């Protein structure tokens, strides 16, 4: 990757144009009244088309995507994004459809929603889906709204709390707070699972429900899920499934069968749609049959959710079909366990046993600390990986371990890629033992070295005009 | 084992990996899952399709949608998408990246977000923008939450009755669950009433007020006096705007807004049945730390090179959990790139020209429709740009049917019994003349 140091504003020269519009053949409309007219200058760049193309091409070359290389970012399920998905989403028959066109004009689009609902219901064991949410956290929020709506519709207004394990994704408690629920944290056991004994005293008539992801963020299956669901249901609460970790269960286990009442899926994780550098995603929410009446009044996005993303996921499901679904789950679990077993000699594995699609190391076995030399941290390992052409795993999450390094390979990486990653991870561990400074100064050959984040936060420069 | 193009594992690979793990078969890796939860029997899914079959089927579905000449806006506008945009946004380095957590290999994403923030600030006149929100309506809902957070102890947010209906519905949903009381400011003569606003503000529990710059009738609202009245009770003025139009009409900052929100769809994003679009938010500097979502800032790396990072993260869910300013994590990054490339191509002059073409076309259509004698003017003389409403003298069902049969999606019913029209630079004079002819003959 080569460093490129321009902002598009810096390419601007008065009089250049990058657009081409039809000749105006209409009579002039009345002028906008002076009191309503923009007075400020409009300092957008004036750039030619070739300049724009080259600028963004140069920017793209400072970026790393799944198509560039291995991206073992835990909990993000960075699987391959099939290209047929992109092709079908761009078809003019879909891309040109106005969201307010009525059912008679949008039969093809509505069919996509119907077929997707059927497929997701089959995959998850849920009864019905809403496709309005635009991301995973948006799905969580919607699901919690449905949870509250259910209790409100029954006149059960005392339920103001939601139980969230300490290993949960940060979005879980944040979504609960946005939804007006009080978060009660339940601790994990030494073996990484929810502490059922600690859960019991938290349960009473004020509990709206419990949010869980299973397997949890350590990649471990919550083996007591049946008991947990029975306990929560026993006090009248609902079970919410955070679908961020759905990938290992594809074709093997259905959240609906485990006692979950509400769940979201991340189509941009499990269903192969590209993450786009941070969206657009899609977070459809599924509910069990007894919650269907809670759906209609909840409107969380302007029209019908991210239809373009839903289309991509539909193409993926058609390709998978019932024949290949199970392989998604199985291969993702196989690859994760393989990496874990191959690397646990060099990286601390806090909890032994089979994992699902991901697992967490707690830093290096030998971080190279000696005398006055600090040992290499998880951050240093992550930065060194970049030098070898790999994206880093998720780091410092979950919060249960100080040096968490969370690795998720997905089912679309070959054994050769995975072996190359394992080799590099061993090499980095050996470097750390020998001289941790090699890691601490990494990355050595990325477009930039480590940036000064403290100054960025202390003296925020957040737009081009702040730089002038 | 039948091959599948997205799975690289061969049987030999699987065997050797299982051996290294020390288990006999893949199913053993699920030994910790209680047996009763392992799905028995086949999933109720269709058979796998080959890629040619998927392509043919999706093309068939796309063909089942009618191909219409779009004369409706109401929050989704059929502006032109220059061919450069999909070309750039489909570059896999942008498309297949995750959120830029590893900034050293994400400078491309971080830099375009910085440019996006700069452009949002330029259009709205606000000090600070975030990296994007889901869409316009959710951006308005986030602004509502922010108003509550910025003005402690106040519990009510006012919505103008002239906001687009889909914005109102989303804000109401968020408000219901977040515990915010919603009040409404009625309209006088097609625009938010300052008198009615002042009456509501007198009740002293108002945290913020959301008003549209161009409203559900297409009218450009005059917000003279709004900021003073709202700030007098220490509430926030939130302007909901169509960013394309901000090239020519007063900016939220010029109206004295504390927060500007809206949907970036009008900046070259295809209609695509409602999404993906991109919400944006610009705020005054003093509200920076209450702002939801990601923010990119400029700094330097160890060698002094200019570098971009996610900054001010202490507001966000992965740090603050339930105390975060919002739960948003993934946003609409690629659509922010879409908008950034659009604005780079259009520049100030292109964007003004888009407005001129759209507005001239819309006024031409308005005048021609009025001339047919089939409509009453609802708000005569009120200034508008690309969108307007008229009141049909007869039940509009037959008219809509005639238009639809000729391939026009136009004359959308409103709650008030009007019909609304919209003209962008994509609509030709021939199309408009044909539409008018159908109306005349209908």
- Judgement on whether residues B172 and B253 belong to the same structural domain of the protein: yes
Q: Give dist(CA B332, CA A275) in Å, integer.
A: 9
Residue ranges per domain, chain A?
1-62, 83-320, 327-455
B314-354 pLDDT per residue, tens: 888 888 888 888 999 999 999 999 999 999 999 999 999 99
Assigned CATH for A83-320? 3.40.640.10
Say whether A280 and B276 touch across the interface (CB within 8 A): yes
Answer with the one of B308, B341, B374 that is the final residue of a domain: B341
pLDDT recorded at residue B153: 86
- Is B5 contained in some domain? no
Q: For an interface test with A, which of B56, B57, B58 has the most A Cβ atoms less than 10 Å from its Cβ?
A: B58
Q: For an interface test with A, which of B327, B356, B404 has the most A Cβ atoms less than 10 Å from its Cβ?
A: B327
Q: What angle do CA B111, A4, A79 make, to 5 degrees?
A: 60
Are A390 and A421 in contact by the 8 Å Cβ rule? The answer is yes
- Is B6 contained in some domain? no
- Judgement on whether residues B286 and B355 belong to the same structural domain of the protein: no
- Output the CA–CA distances (angstroms, integers) from residue A250 to A288, A324, A331, B416, in the order listed: 18, 10, 10, 48
- Judgement on whether residues B274 and B225 belong to the same structural domain of the protein: yes
- Judgement on whether residues B239 and B320 belong to the same structural domain of the protein: yes
| Mean pLDDT (10-residue bins), chain A, 468 residues | 96 97 97 98 98 98 97 97 98 98 98 98 98 97 98 96 93 93 95 96 97 95 97 98 97 98 98 97 98 95 98 98 97 98 98 96 97 95 98 94 97 98 98 97 97 95 96
Alpha carbon B336 to its chain centroid, in Å, reads 10
- Judgement on whether residues B401 and B432 belong to the same structural domain of the protein: yes
Out of A65, A413, A448, the one facing B104 most closely (by C-beta) is A448
Neighbouring residues of B71: CB distance < 8 A, sequence distance ≥ 6: B365, B408, B409, B410, B411, B421, B422, B423, B427, B435
For B109, the domain range is 85-341
Say whether A44 and B273 touch across the interface (CB within 8 A): no
Indicate the length of chain A as a whole number: 468
Are A82 and A279 in contact by the 8 Å Cβ rule? The answer is no
B6-42 pLDDT per residue, tens: 999 999 999 999 999 999 999 999 999 999 999 998 9
Q: Give dist(CA B244, CA B189) in Å, integer.
A: 25
Q: Where are the alpha helices (DSSP H) in A344-435?
A: 378-387, 415-434
- Output the CA–CA distances (angstroms, integers) from residue B182 to A147, B90, B233, in the order listed: 22, 41, 17
Number of domains composing chain B: 3
Are A136 and A243 in contact by the 8 Å Cβ rule? The answer is yes
Q: What is the topology classification, in CATH, of domain A327-455? A: 3.90.1150
- Judgement on whether residues B372 and B281 belong to the same structural domain of the protein: no
Q: Is the dihedral of CA A275, A278, A284, A288 positive or negative?
A: positive
Mean pLDDT of the region B416-440:
97
Q: What angle do CA B377, B382, B385 make, to 5 degrees?
A: 100
Say whether A276 and B360 touch across the interface (CB within 8 A): no
Out of A79, A141, A321, the one facing B49 most closely (by C-beta) is A321
Phi (first) and psi of residue B264, to 5 degrees: -80, 5
Nearest to A265 by CA among A257, A167, A273, B42: A273
- Judgement on whether residues B120 and B198 belong to the same structural domain of the protein: yes
Nearest-10 Cα torsion for A67, A72, A75, A76: -10
What tokens were used for B157? 């947010």
- Judgement on whether residues B240 and B216 belong to the same structural domain of the protein: yes
B258-298 pLDDT per residue, tens: 999 999 999 999 999 999 999 999 999 999 999 999 999 99
- Judgement on whether residues B227 and B374 belong to the same structural domain of the protein: no
A95 reaches B (C-beta below 8 A) = yes
Q: Give dist(CA A285, CA A269) in Å, integer.
A: 14
Q: Give dist(CA B361, CA B354) in Å, integer.
A: 11
Q: Give dist(CA B387, CA B427) in Å, integer.
A: 13
pLDDT recorded at residue B75: 98
pLDDT recorded at residue B315: 85
Helices (H) then strands (E): counts for chain B: 13, 17
Say whether A62 and B64 touch across the interface (CB within 8 A): no
pLDDT recorded at residue B1: 44
Q: B3 falls in which pLDDT band (50, 70, 90)? A: confident
- Judgement on whether residues B94 and B232 belong to the same structural domain of the protein: yes
What angle, 0 to 180 degrees and rounded to 10, lies between the N-to-C axes of helices A171-178 and A136-153? 40
Phi (first) and psi of residue B240, to 5 degrees: -95, 125
Say whether B246 and A299 touch across the interface (CB within 8 A): no
Say whether A94 and B348 touch across the interface (CB within 8 A): no
- Judgement on whether residues B417 and B336 belong to the same structural domain of the protein: no
pLDDT recorded at residue B228: 98
Closest CA–CA distance from residue B160 to any residue of chain A (Å): 17
- Judgement on whether residues B379 and B325 belong to the same structural domain of the protein: no
Residue with the two structure tokens 């140069």: A58
- Is B220 contained in some domain? yes
């Amino acid at each position: 990757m080569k460093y490129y140091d321009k902002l598009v504003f810096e390419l601007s020269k008065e009089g250049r144009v990058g657009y081409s519009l039809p000749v105006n053949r209409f009579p002039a409309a009345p002028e906008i009244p002076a009191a309503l007219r923009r007075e400020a200058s409009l300092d957008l760049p004036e750039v030619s088309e070739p300049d724009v193309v080259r600028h963004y091409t140069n920017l793209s070359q400072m970026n790393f995507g799944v198509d560039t290389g291995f991206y073992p970012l835990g909990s993000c399920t960075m699987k391959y994004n099939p290209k047929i998905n992109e092709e079908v989403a761009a078809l003019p028959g879909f891309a040109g459809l106005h969201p307010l066109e009525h059912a008679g004009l949008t039969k093809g689009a509505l069919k996509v929603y119907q077929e997707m609902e059927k497929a997701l219901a089959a995959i998850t064991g849920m009864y019905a889906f809403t496709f309005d949410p635009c991301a995973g956290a948006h799905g969580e929020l919607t699901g919690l709204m449905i949870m509250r709506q259910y209790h409100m519709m029954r006149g059960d207004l005392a339920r103001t709390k939601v139980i969230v394990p300490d290993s949960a994704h940060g979005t879980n408690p944040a979504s609960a707070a946005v939804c007006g629920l009080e978060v009660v944290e339940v601790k994990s056991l030494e073996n990484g699972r929810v502490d059922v004994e600690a859960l019991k005293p938290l349960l009473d008539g004020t509990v709206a429900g419990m949010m869980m992801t299973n397997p949890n963020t350590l990649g471990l299956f919550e083996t007591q899920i049946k008991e947990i669901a029975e306990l929560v249901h026993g006090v009248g609460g609902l079970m919410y499934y955070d679908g961020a970790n759905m990938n290992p269960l594809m074709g093997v286990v259905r959240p609906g069968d485990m006692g979950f009442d509400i769940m979201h899926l991340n189509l941009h994780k499990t269903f192969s749609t590209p993450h786009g550098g941070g969206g657009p995603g899609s977070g459809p929410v599924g509910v069990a049959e007894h919650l269907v009446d809670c759906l209609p009044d909840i409107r969380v996005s302007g029209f019908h959710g991210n239809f373009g993303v839903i289309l991509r996921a539909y193409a993926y499901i058609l390709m998978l079909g019932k024949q290949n679904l199970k392989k998604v789950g199985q291969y993702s679990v196989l690859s994760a366990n393989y990496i874990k077993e191959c690397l646990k000699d060099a990286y601390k594995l806090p909890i032994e046993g089979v994992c699902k699609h991901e697992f967490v190391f707690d830093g290096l076995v030998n971080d190279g600390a000696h005398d006055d030399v600090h040992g290499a941290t998880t951050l240093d390992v992550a930065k060194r990986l970049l030098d070898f052409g790999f994206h880093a795993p998720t780091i410092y999450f979950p919060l249960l371990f100080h040096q968490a390094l969370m690795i998720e390979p997905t089912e679309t990486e070959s054994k050769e890629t995975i072996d190359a990653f394992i080799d590099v991870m061993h090499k980095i561990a050996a470097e750390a033992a020998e001289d941790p400074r090699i890691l601490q100064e990494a990355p050595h050959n990325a477009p930039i070295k480590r940036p000064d984040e403290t100054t960025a936060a202390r003296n925020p420069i957040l737009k081009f005009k702040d730089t002038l | 084992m039948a091959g599948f193009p997205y799975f690289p594992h061969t049987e030999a690979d699987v065997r050797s990996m299982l051996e290294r793990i020390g288990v006999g078969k893949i199913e053993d890796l699920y030994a910790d899952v209680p047996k009763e939860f392992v799905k028995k029997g086949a999933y109720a899914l269709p058979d796998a399709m080959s890629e040619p079959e998927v392509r043919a089927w999706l093309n068939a579905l796309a063909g089942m949608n009618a191909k219409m000449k779009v004369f409706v806006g109401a929050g989704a506008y059929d502006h032109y998408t220059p061919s450069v945009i999909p070309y750039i946004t489909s570059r896999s380095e942008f498309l297949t990246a995750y959120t830029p957590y590893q900034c050293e290999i994400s400078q491309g994403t971080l830099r375009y977000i910085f440019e996006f923030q700069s452009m949002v600030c330029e259009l709205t006149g606000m000090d600070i923008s975030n990296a994007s929100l889901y869409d316009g309506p959710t951006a308005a809902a986030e602004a509502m939450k922010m108003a509550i957070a910025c003005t402690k102890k106040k519990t009510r947010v006012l919505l103008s009755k002239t906001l687009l209906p889909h914005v109102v519905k989303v804000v109401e949903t968020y408000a219901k669950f977040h515990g915010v009381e919603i009040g409404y400011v009625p309209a006088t003569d097609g625009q938010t009433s300052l008198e009615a606003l002042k009456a509501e503000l007198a009740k002293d529990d108002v945290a913020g007020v959301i008003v549209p710059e161009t409203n559900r009738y297409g009218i450009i609202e005059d917000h003279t006096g709004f900021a003073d009245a709202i700030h007098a009770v220490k509430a926030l003025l939130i302007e909901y705007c169509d960013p394309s139009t901000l090239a020519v009409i007063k900016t939220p900052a010029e109206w004295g807004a504390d927060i500007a929100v809206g949907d970036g769809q009008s900046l070259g994003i295809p209609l695509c049945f409602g999404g993906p679009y991109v919400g944006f938010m610009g705020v005054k500097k003093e509200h920076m730390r209450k702002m939801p979502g990601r923010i990119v800032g400029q700094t330097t790396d160890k060698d002094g090179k200019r570098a971009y990072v996610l900054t001010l993260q202490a507001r966000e869910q992965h740090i603050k959990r339930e105390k975060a300013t919002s739960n948003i994590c993934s946003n609409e990054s690629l659509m922010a790139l879409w908008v950034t490339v659009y604005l780079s191509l259009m520049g100030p002059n292109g964007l003004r020209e888009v407005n001129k073409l759209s507005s001239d076309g819309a006024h031409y259509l308005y005048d021609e429709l009025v001339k047919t004698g089939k409509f009453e003017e609802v708000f005569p003389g009120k200034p508008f740009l690309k969108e307007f409403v008229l009141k049909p003298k007869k039940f509009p069902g037959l008219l809509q049917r005639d238009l639809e049969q000729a391939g026009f999606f136009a004359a959308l019913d409103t709650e008030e019994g009007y019909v609304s029209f919209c003209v962008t630079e994509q609509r030709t004079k021939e199309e408009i003349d044909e539409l008018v002819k159908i109306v005349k003959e209908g």
